Amino acid sequence: MTLSDLSDYVQIFGILIAISGGVFAVIQLLEFKRQRRDAIVVELSRTFYSPDLAAAVAVLHTLPDGCSAKELRARGLEYERAAVIVTTTFETMGLLVYLRVANFEVVKGLAGGMIVVMWRKLRIWLDAVRTEQSQPSWAEWFQWLAERAAVHKDEARPAYVAHADWRP
């Protein structure tokens, strides 16, 4: 074996190492993205275990759909506080979905029905707040998310019906 042959083998070996490094880097990036997605899902899930959100939803579910700001406020400060908690929580989720940080299917599966129901109850109140505050973008991502969820949520076939034959 000549020095030239050895040099060729070293170059080939170097190229293989570089390719292997590139493949390893791509695999690591994909794994990082998967871990990031999983972490976001866990954090979104924790949102629904929040005592504040649970209490707010429990208070607001008694409201009629399209409740006016006057009617909501007449029920007491607890109702408006609950509306702000629900609105800001779903506002955050809406922006995260729009930016593709959070997966829409996960958010829809976790809370799509609740988001749609809360939107139906709070939309008139939200319009009043936007007008009062001269802030038309207030809760814009909550509205955006609720409208997307309403279009894509199959309420006629909830998960317990649609996936009744699912087996692990």
- 28, 61: one domain: no
- 131, 63: one domain: yes
Between the alpha carbon of residue 78 and those of residues 14, 38, 56, 63, 159, the distances in Å are: 68, 34, 8, 13, 32
Q: What b/e readout covers 18-27, taking b as 16+ CB neighbours within 10 angstroms? A: eeeeeeeeee
And the tokens for 35?
Answer: 């871990």
- 74, 14: one domain: no
- When divided into structural domains, the chain yields a total of 2
- 62, 41: one domain: no
Question: 142 pLDDT exceeds 90?
Answer: yes
And the tokens for 152?
Answer: 């894509």
And the tokens for 50?
Answer: 């929040």
| Stretch among 13-27, 62-76, 79-93, 109-123 having the lowest mean pLDDT | 13-27
- 57, 113: one domain: yes
Q: What does the pLDDT average to over 123-150? A: 96
Contact present, 56 and 81 (Cβ < 8 Å): yes
Q: What does the pLDDT average to over 34-42? A: 76
Owning domain of residue 141:
50-168
Residues 6+ apart with CB under 8 A from 52: 85
Residues 6+ apart with CB under 8 A from 117: 61
Tell me what percent of the residues of the chain surpass a pLDDT of 90.
Answer: 49
Q: What does the pLDDT average to over 124-139? A: 96
- 61, 125: one domain: yes
- 96, 37: one domain: no
- 42, 59: one domain: no
- Which pLDDT does position 154 carry in this prediction? 67
